[in-house]
Chains A and B, each alone.
Chain A
Amino acid sequence: MTPDELMDVAQGLQEKDASIPNHVRVCTAASCLSLKSDELAKQIKAELKEVGKDKDTKVRCVGCMGLCSAGPLVSVEAEDQKPVMYQKVTVENAPQIAESVASGKKVKDLVCDTDSPFFARQQKIVLENSGIIDADDINDYIANDGYQALMTAISEMQPNEVLDEITKSGLRGRGGAGFPTGLKWNMLAKTPSDTKYIICNADEGDPGAFMDRAILESDPHRILEGMALAAYATGATEGFIYVRAEYPLAIKRLKTAIRLATKNNFLGSNIGGTKFSFSIDIRLGAGAFVCGEETALIASIEGKRGQPRPRPPFPAEKGLWGQPTSINNVETLANVAPIVRKGGEWFASIGTNKSKGTKVFALAGKINNTGLIEVPMGLSLREIVFDIGGGIPDGQEFKAVQTGGPSGGCLPEEHLDMGVDYDSLRTAGSIMGSGGMIVMDKTSNMVDVARFFMEFCMSESCGKCIPCRVGTYQMHELLNRIAEGEGTMEDLAKLEELCEVVANTSLCGLGQTSPNPVRSTLRYFRHEYLELIDGKHIPAGAGQEVAS
């Protein structure tokens, strides 16, 4: 199939879709699905039959619409009407939804305001199809420009031209460290080998982060296309998606997507009649956080114990089964097809000087609008938390926002006006990480927060290197003592010393970054530690008053 032929197919599908007057989309990503949105979709279909609208209405089970706290979400495009989104829709509401399709009148009680900043302030690249298409229907993806980039690349572009677009785009790894994707692929492309691998890292494990899950559940073909483009640009022949077994829905949709993509020759041998061949397999992670670290991930795919090994050599030289390998995060790969389709310059025009494009964040914690958002890089924390996130519930005051999960840090109010990008977050003592954003109000005790993340790192340490294995344990013990009001100034000094040792001597990123939550809370909320040490244990929330 040539790009033009694919375009024709897409056009045909679009026309067919346009001929259907009414469209109902029900979110069936994990969060809404947990509220039985699949049954809701069935019921809506049944009710549409009741009102005689089943023939001219297409009901789709779609991916994440973002505002998880208001789920299940349903969007209705009735003939000649403005699209309407409904929130907290239950099975009992199905007749009202069907009725609204028939009558063209809104179900007023259920309307979700899509003009609110939560929706209006977002800019979607990665999530452009989320909540729009049926993840299990490859035609939906094709109708929305799906596989255009791949077909154009393999039939009209040289691999290095694809590489150039990625480099030009300034795309950086969305998994945490922010390594330039173009550079990573260049290293792989330059390493001579008959066998090279592309691995998609879908071992999302930060507490409170669910960006990758939503992408995989909502738009799996986007990842396949991104991987195929990566393979074409770098000369890889095989791909693996390493996805955690705790994401059964994502796995199911990925499997369907791979089957359909292979059937339609977007994957497999001689893709689109060209010389380019590329296949993708799925490997399931068994729940170890450390397997998100690339060398541990490789060991896990090889069937070994999930433990990291020192780098260099980097996977681009010696990766899976000793062959050159590139490991990219889900969200990184989700950006690839749009970049190839619209050009690196287009992507580079979005975001900040050194952080291009958009970033998906999972808003969680003490915030009104919990859910998934995609915003251009550089938007301020204040806009994210207060405009898009809707501020702090229950009349409480903002205290801190935790970014980057167990490797990240807690940022206080004074950083709210900081533009969010890789470098500003790092300067402030946190990291971008994969995109988890946990908001805390004045009732949160920051020593407890640090202890929580240290406990996480301690139990997720693989135990290979001494600093991480024993250091996280000892730091957790020290935090326990301080949190229980039994700590001394010597304990605090020891804690800070261990932070440095563990950060600078641990083998992999898990250990190296495990002190970050402690360090950032010590930097911004040191008085909370000191109050506990002084024996003046005062309830959290009163901390500020006592300090001043």
Chain B
Amino acid sequence: MSKVIRVVTLTIDDQEVTGREDETILTVARQHDIDIPTLCFLEGLSGWGSCRICLVAVEGVPKLLPACMTYCSEGMVVHTENEQIKAYRKSILELLFSERNHICSVCVSNGACELQALAQKCGMDHVSLPYRFPSYEVDSSHNLFRNDHNRCVLCTRCIRVCDEIEGAHVWDLADRGINAHVISDLNAPWGDSETCTNCGKCVQVCPTGALVQKGTAVAEMHKRRAFLPYLNAMRGNHG
């Protein structure tokens, strides 16, 4: 017996909209052309809720909620942006830019990077915090792809696509806090991975220039994600 899914009416930015109760605020907002910025979210992968960029205010709830993981309910009143949320998004981007070495001008993803676009969209014009300037390695051991940890934002899209779509689970996180980083297999060089199928899905879903195709020069890396909705549709997955 399948569970009955109700259709609910809610208000997003003064607009009355309808959505299914198994849909998130983000999904319903986008269906109605209401824009909410995101970073770790990617349609077709499970929700993660870690980047906090899509935080929205829901009336009656004291805390801001991630639009990507909060389900619609009847009568919900959502505000996707106010001065406070705008300021928080900027601050979060500043924190992210200060964490690793995101130098857009010499990045193969320059011009096609979600982090770069997000900074512009949110008006993050400079990082007021000291940069960490950490020293991260670039893993070029794979024949086709490269992993530049300096440009990783730990959104875990690579981990999720490899686990949920490809079924290989090459990627995972090691260590914690500021030292958390993505590893392949049990911290082996990517090129030595016994589980990697060379499918490149992780590269295509990576929002930045962290996972890229080899042989690309500055601004040449454009990600192709058409496979994701296609595979999900073929497999009968919803969202």
* Chain A interface (Cβ < 8 Å from any Cβ of B): 288, 290, 305, 309-310, 312, 458-467, 469-474, 477, 494, 497-498, 501, 504-507, 512
Contact B91 A501 (CB under 8 A): yes
A512 to B66, CA, bound (A): 14
Question: Would you list which residues of chain B between 68 and 98 have a CB under 8 Å from chain A?
Answer: 69-71, 84, 88, 91-92, 95-96, 98
- Give the residue among A288, A462, A463, A474 with the most B Cβ atoms within 10 A: A463
A497 to B84, CA, bound (A): 12
A501 with B92: CB separation less than 8 A: yes
B111 to chain A minimum Cβ distance, whole angstroms, is: 23
A310 touches B49 (CB 8 A): yes
Among B50, B69, B71, B178, the residue within 8 A (CB) of A473 is B178
User: What are 20 sample pairs from A and B whose C-beta atoms fall under 8 A apart?
Assistant: A288-B176, A290-B176, A309-B49, A310-B70, A460-B176, A463-B175, A464-B154, A465-B52, A466-B51, A466-B96, A466-B99, A467-B52, A469-B99, A474-B95, A474-B129, A504-B84, A504-B88, A505-B64, A507-B52, A512-B63
A463 contacts B95, C-beta separation under 8 Å: no
Contact residues of B between 32 and 77, Cβ < 8 Å to A: 49-52, 55, 63-66, 69-71
Q: Roughly how many angstroms separate A458 CA and B178 CA in the complex, as a whole number?
A: 8
Q: Which residues of B contact A312 (CB under 8 A)?
A: 70-71
7 cross-chain pairs, A with B, having the tightest CB-CB distances, nearest first: A463-B180, A461-B177, A470-B95, A310-B49, A501-B91, A473-B178, A505-B52
**Contacts A312-B70, A461-B177, A463-B180 given; 20 further ones with Cβ under 8 A?**
A310-B49, A461-B178, A463-B176, A463-B177, A464-B180, A465-B49, A465-B52, A467-B91, A470-B98, A473-B177, A473-B178, A494-B128, A498-B91, A501-B88, A501-B95, A504-B63, A505-B64, A505-B92, A507-B49, A512-B63
- Report the minimum CB–CB distance from B208 to chain A (whole Å): 14
Cβ-defined contact, A469 with B178, below 8 A: yes
**A461 contacts B176, C-beta separation under 8 Å:** yes
B50 touches A507 (CB 8 A): yes
Given contacts A305-B173, A459-B177, contact A466 B128 (CB under 8 A): no
B contacts, CB < 8 Å to A: 49-52, 55, 63-66, 69-71, 84, 88, 91-92, 95-96, 98-99, 128-130, 132, 153-154, 172-173, 175-180
Residue from B55, B65, B96 in contact with A470 in the complex, judged by beta carbons closer than 8 Å: B96
Q: How far is the CA of A105 from the CA of B106 in the complex (A)?
A: 86
- Is A467 a contact of B95 with CB atoms below 8 Å? yes
**Contact across chains for B70 and A463 when beta carbons are under 8 A apart:** no
Contact of B173 among A463, A473, A494 (CB under 8 A): A463
**With A471-B95, A501-B91, A505-B64 as contacts: A466 and B129 at CB distance below 8 Å:** no
Q: How far is the CB of A419 from chain B (nearest CB, A)?
A: 25
Residues from chain A with a CB closer than 8 A to the CB of B52 are 465-467, 505-507
Q: Which residues of A contact B92 (CB under 8 A)?
A: 466-467, 501, 505
Q: How far is the CA of A458 from the CA of B179 in the complex (A)?
A: 10
Shortest Cβ distance from residue B150 to the other chain A in the assembled complex, whole angstroms: 15
Interchain CB contact under 8 A, A474 and B176: no
Which of B99, B130, B154, B177 is packed against the most chain A CB atoms within 10 Å?
Answer: B177
Q: Is the CB of A466 within 8 A of B64?
A: no
Residues from chain A with a CB closer than 8 A to the CB of B173 are 305, 463
Q: Which residues of A contact B50 (CB under 8 A)?
A: 464-466, 507
A464–B179 alpha-carbon span in the complex (Å): 11
- Taking the closest CB of chain A, its distance from the CB of B15, in whole angstroms, is 23
CB pair A466–B95 under 8 Å, yes or no, is: yes
Contact between chains at B91 and A497 (CB < 8 Å):
yes
Q: Which chain B positions have C-beta within 8 A of A477?
A: 130
B178: A residues at CB distance < 8 A: 458, 461, 463, 469-470, 472-473
Report the separation of the CA atoms of residues A151 and B30 in the bound assembly, to the nearest whole angstrom.
55
Say whether B132 contacts A505, CB under 8 Å: no
Can you name the residue of chain A whose Cβ is closest to the Cβ of B91? A501
B65 touches A472 (CB 8 A): no
Shortest distance between the CB of A478 and any CB in chain B (Å)? 9
User: Nearest Cβ distance between residue B226 and chain A, in whole angstroms?
Assistant: 29
CB distance from B4 to the nearest CB of A (A): 14
Q: In the assembly, what is the distance between CA of A465 and CA of B92, in Å?
A: 10
- Min CB–CB distance B136 → chain A (angstroms): 14
Of the listed residues B129, B153, B154, the one surrounded by the most CB atoms of chain A closer than 10 A to its CB is: B129
- In the bound complex, CA of A477 to CA of B95 (Å): 13
Cβ of A498: which chain B residues have Cβ within 8 Å of it? 91
CB neighbours (8 Å) of B172 from chain A are 305
Contacts of B95 in A (CB 8 A): 466-467, 470-471, 474, 501
- Which residues in A have their C-beta under 8 angstroms from that of B128? 494
**Contact residues in A for B179 (Cβ distance below 8 Å):** 463
Residues of B close to A458: CB separation below 8 A: 177-178
Contacting pair B88 A505 (CB below 8 A):
yes
| Residue of A with least CB distance to B155 | A466
B157 CB to closest chain A CB (Å) equals: 14
Which A residues are in CB contact (< 8 Å) with B64?
504-505
Residues of B contacting A309 in the complex (Cβ-Cβ under 8 angstroms): 49, 69
